[in-house]
Chain A
Amino acid sequence: MQFRPFRRVLVANRGEIAARVVRGCHERGVEALAVYSEADRDALHVRLADLAVEIGPAPSSESYLRQDVLLEVARAHGCDAVHPGYGFLSENAGFAEKVVAAGLVWIGPPPSAISAMGSKTAARQRMQAAGVPLVPGTVEPVSDPDEAMAIARDIGLPVMLKAAAGGGGKGMRRVDHERDLAAALTAARSEARKAFGDDSVYVEKLVVDPRHVEVQVLADRHGTTVHLFERDCSIQRRHQKVIEETPCPVLPEATRRKLTEAAVAATKAVGYVGAGTCEFLYDPKADAFYFLEMNTRLQVEHPITEMVTGVDLVAAQLRVAAGEALWFAQGDLQQTGHAIECRIYAEDAAENFRPAPGPLHGYREPAGGWVRTDAGVVEGMVVPVHYDPMIAKLVVWGRDRAEAIDRCRRALRDYHLVGVPTSIPFFLEVLDDPDFVAGTYHTGFITPEWLQEHLGAPDVDDDLLALAAIARYQADSARAPAGAVASGSDWKRLHRWRSRKGSGGDLRDRARRARGERVGASGRRGWRVSVDSGRGG
């Protein structure tokens, strides 16, 4: 029997990451206690866990962010450790301290390391001292528009405004023109205050056409820190990553070595323990990289690293948190093959990625070799409006990048997902884009023009329209249970349907078309089936 690091872990999160952590616990023989809000009663993590406790109403401020409630649940239900996942309280040093003070193990870095990296301003100072390259910008947070203007003029536009306590694109604004600076500052501070309770913002030079390249690190309590190579997360929308891959397709080996060394230096500089990620901007033209920030938690995109290194990062988190030494050295690690992740969101890419939460009437994941899905949903549940609308992560591995892309495309097409628009069509377009295929993309890859060009509505075929009429007819007539529902005299009742967009026709025409016969125009008074391009609601 393997070493069992804990008896029962409280998983202080929801969605796919909560399911991921529950599974990780089970593989180590550890029980998992899930917590859930009123909106998540049907969620997958609740079903997978050994036991689950409802902790409050849907808004995360009244449930997943309730530190007191979480600590009380951990105490009352015999947990000996807390895994925070990502987001929510995962980078909240105060909560980590309370967990430790309650005699529980925090499955994450020491609170001091979270604090050191949590304030980007403080982190920049530490990194500067450790010799890690930084993007030119302010070292102190800025709130006064005049001061921000002076700094922007000094380092040169364009600049980025970024929440000091931020992440995930919140509290972030690009400023190209001096006249926009004041409004952008107000918006960034307002978002930062709401998202993080801290409206400090700093100003930083914008590296034009950069790539977002990050390094996974892992450290134990016995002085060993290793890196698990890089991930390229340059395909972004609204400053949030949506496709990640490893290895980075354009990183020279010598630069990879320097980059990963810088990440290890950054990690050691704050006395880090556990899994973490050092994010860098990489300028491929100059072959230069700049430290952005360290995420002191498990990342959304951790599975691609697991795919190419064979290291289970959740297992590593559990074992390191329990005091074990890392069971491998840097020299034991290598990148094998290529992995890609697509974050599948309930959103309408054609409408600027408008979040589109709603019911998942149909849901079936792709499978097959070298395909992994990390999801937090099941068929029939509703993607709640209260949280990030990510449905699942699709992760594939290939011997090389081309094979990974082909496999990814196949798996995306295998997804059965009915009820909400998703980012799947967007991903299919990206995977076919020559710049993506060549690997020469950057963080500004997705533009309104690109979306305009690539995201048209698909042609809807006759079968779908006919089936829609049949489905409605069957539901209304409440007869013909299963099997053949429209045959014989039923066709007379159903006989006319047409679409508002002009396609369509008589259902009997559908039969003739199947036989290769030409058919005439549709009737005037029949079933009317209209299908829009995923823009309902």
Chain B
Amino acid sequence: MIRAGQLGAAEWWIEAEGERRVAALHVAGEVLTAQVRGHGLSGSVVDPRDHALEALGGAADGAIRSPMPGAVARVLVAAGDRVEAGQILVVVEAMKMENEFKAPMAGLVVEVAVTAGTAVDANALLVVVEAEEGA
């Protein structure tokens, strides 16, 4: 026999064979956030009925996205530029810090999706670099 219940906004208990354990998690729709041994984790919970709705993830290699909301401070490349691995492409200012986004590999800039001074959301596309074989 397993029993489970909610203790607080983000705390649940689960009991099996008379042993109760408490876990720190929060579920809102499909979005799961949890804490395990101090780690703040995120994930998803998909109801069997909703499998069809599962999002497809995975950006193409070389698509540089901003992991956080911020403002584009500088754009250092233009479409058509050849870049080296590690070369700084775009600088995004967030939380008062400048974050440099670098080319993951040598290649050709095929798209620049932002301009300096504009705001970007988390996961916003910044630049797309395409690998150039034998360049």
Q: Does A412 contact B38, Cβ atoms closer than 8 Å? A: yes
Considering the chains assembled together, what is the distance between the CA atoms of A534 and B42 in angstroms? 5
Contact A460 to B41, CB < 8 A, known contacts A388-B96, A485-B5:
yes
Contact A468 to B38, CB < 8 A, known contacts A355-B94, A389-B95, A484-B4:
no
Q: Which residue of B lies closest to A388 (CB)?
A: B95
Contact A484 to B45, CB < 8 A, known contacts A362-B26, A425-B37:
no
Considering the chains assembled together, what is the distance between the CA atoms of A144 and B8 in angstroms? 58
Give B residues with C-beta under 8 Å from A.
1-6, 8-12, 14, 16-17, 19, 21, 23-48, 51, 54, 67-69, 73-74, 91, 93-98, 122-123
Q: Does A418 contact B16, Cβ atoms closer than 8 Å? A: no
B20 to chain A, nearest CB (A): 10
Q: Does A471 contact B96, Cβ atoms closer than 8 Å? A: no
Q: Which residue of B lies closest to A483 (CB)?
A: B5
Q: Which residue of A lies closest to B6 (CB)?
A: A482
B88 to chain A, nearest CB (A): 8
User: Which residues of A266-287 are within 8 A (CB) of B?
Assistant: none
Q: Count CB-based A-B contacts (< 8 Å).
A: 216
A250 sits at the interface (CB 8 A)? no
Q: Which of B27, B37, B38, B73 contacts A472 (CB 8 A)?
A: B27
B75 to chain A, nearest CB (A): 13
Q: Does B51 contact A525, Cβ atoms closer than 8 Å? A: yes
Contact A533 to B41, CB < 8 A, known contacts A418-B10, A418-B25, A511-B16:
yes
Q: Does B4 contact A195, Cβ atoms closer than 8 Å? A: no
A-B contact pairs, 7 of them (CB 8 A): A191-B98, A362-B8, A470-B12, A471-B45, A484-B5, A533-B39, A537-B123
Considering the chains assembled together, what is the distance between the CA atoms of A412 and B3 in angstroms? 29
Q: Which of B14, B33, B34, B91 contacts A466 (CB 8 A)?
A: B14
A139 sits at the interface (CB 8 A)? no
A532 sits at the interface (CB 8 A)? yes
Kindly list the 10 A-B residue pairs having the minimum CB-CB distance in the complex, ordered from nearest: A362-B10, A536-B42, A514-B16, A421-B40, A531-B43, A361-B26, A418-B10, A471-B27, A424-B38, A361-B10
Q: Does A361 contact B19, Cβ atoms closer than 8 Å? A: no
* Interface range for A: 35 or more
Contact A487 to B47, CB < 8 A, known contacts A380-B9, A537-B123:
no
A523 to chain B, nearest CB (A): 10
Q: Which of B11, B34, B95 contacts A468 (CB 8 A)?
A: B34
Instruction: Fill in one digit per residue for A134-164: 1 if any B CB lies within 8 Å of its CB, else 0.
Output: 0000000000000000000000000000000
Instruction: Report B-chain residues with C-beta under 8 Å of the C-beta of A362.
Output: 8-11, 24, 26, 35
Instruction: Report B-chain residues with C-beta under 8 Å of the C-beta of A191.
Output: 98
Give A residues with C-beta under 8 Å from B.
169-170, 187, 190-191, 194-195, 238, 348, 351, 354-357, 361-362, 379-380, 385, 387-389, 412-413, 415-422, 424-425, 427-428, 457-461, 463-464, 466-476, 482-487, 491, 496, 507, 510-511, 514-515, 525-537
Q: Give 20 A-B pairs besides A471-B26, A533-B39 with Cβ atoms closer than 8 angstroms.
A: A355-B95, A355-B97, A362-B9, A380-B9, A418-B34, A425-B39, A466-B14, A467-B23, A468-B25, A471-B12, A484-B4, A486-B4, A515-B17, A525-B51, A526-B48, A527-B46, A529-B43, A532-B43, A536-B43, A537-B68
Q: Does B38 contact A475, Cβ atoms closer than 8 Å? A: no
Q: Does B96 contact A195, Cβ atoms closer than 8 Å? A: yes
Considering the chains assembled together, what is the distance between the CA atoms of A475 and B25 in angstroms? 14
Considering the chains assembled together, what is the distance between the CA atoms of A381 and B77 in angstroms? 39
